[in-house]
Amino acid sequence: MSARSTRGLLAALCAAVALGGCGVGAGDGPGAPVGLAVTRDFGERALIEIDDAKVAGADTVMRVLRRNATVQTRYGGEFVQSIDGVAGGRRGGRPVDWFIYVNGSLTDQGAGAVDVHGGDRIWWDHHDWGLTPDVRAVVGSYPEPFVHGDAGKRLPVRVECADPNAGACKVVADKLIALGIPIGRSNISRSAADDTLRILVGPWSKLRGRDAEAVAVDAGPRASGVFARFDASGEELAVLDPRGATARTLRAGSGLVAATRAKDRQPVWFVTGTDDAGVASAARALEEGALSNRYALAVSDDLPIAVPARAR
């Protein structure tokens, strides 16, 4: 091989390395603090909660966990077996395992393949997945994904209301604006772009059937990952336990804050209720403190109820 062709080959190799995201060292670190939560039983019991987790360079979700917790892995370090001694497997005859949410969305890759970005909130939860392993979106990382978006990219946010003049619609919009999030407001739309984060606000009777994600919620936890169901009239809200059984039935004045996600689309949040009073309660509950580590939140008489409810 001539010197000229060798130089050309080296130049091509360097270009390929540079374009392929390769480099020497750990890479640039995230510019903003990364939050890490490790919980059990759908967020019921917190094992670790760190607002500013230890991160070095361009870490992955797995490395952030390993820097901040005692972890045992399997399959060559790609999958977590146990965190702080809590292991996946079976409990009481039911399958349990660790699930990862980054900014409120279930990751579809191994933790070693997911990059961490500034401001991300990483949530590991150990729970029963006998009913469904596919709870694709949760509200417990609020105000994410609205502030930092997905994979380091901020996303457009739209508040869609059944009645744009309703008080609850204004409350939700004002809360997001207060967080510095530019939002758009509109009626319920059927033609949302896939990369838009949407919050649907209104009584369930007016949201029902208006959207593919709303149809999924009516189809139950297996379809939507939301462990709550409204009755046919939309005036009763059943809060389900992890096995899908009704744990509580809420009536007039009850609200629900929940999220779901269709394949290849961004999450859709619901701020809804059995009636206008219930929607207003749900809108008031749209707070970091109330939603923290919740898969979804029901509100009855302004009292928060974790969703899914604890199994009896």
List contacts with other proteins (CB under 8 A).
17, 20-27, 56-58, 60, 62-63, 66-67, 71, 73, 76-78, 110, 112-113
SS3 184: strand
Bridge partners of 157, per DSSP, are 183, 197
Nearest-angstrom CA–CA distance, 247 and 183: 36
Nearest-angstrom CA–CA distance, 114 and 164: 38
Nearer Cβ to other proteins (111/197): 111
Q: What single-letter amino acid sits at 3?
A: A
The least distance separating other proteins from the CB of residue 59, rounded to whole angstroms, comes to 8
The verdict on whether omega for the bond into residue 304 sits within 30 degrees of 0, i.e. cis, is no
Nearer Cβ to other proteins (51/78): 78
The verdict on whether omega for the bond into residue 145 sits within 30 degrees of 0, i.e. cis, is yes
| C-beta atoms surrounding 199 within 10 Å | 26
Q: Which structure tokens are listed for 146? A: 């609205």
The least distance separating other proteins from the CB of residue 73, rounded to whole angstroms, comes to 6
The least distance separating other proteins from the CB of residue 118, rounded to whole angstroms, comes to 18
Q: Residue 54: CB partners within 8 Å, gap ≥ 6?
A: 64, 67, 68
SS3 191: coil
Bridge partners of 79, per DSSP, are 74
Nearer Cβ to other proteins (76/89): 76
Nearer Cβ to other proteins (61/298): 61
Give the number of residues written for the chain: 312
The least distance separating other proteins from the CB of residue 106, rounded to whole angstroms, comes to 19
The least distance separating other proteins from the CB of residue 141, rounded to whole angstroms, comes to 23
The least distance separating other proteins from the CB of residue 36, rounded to whole angstroms, comes to 14
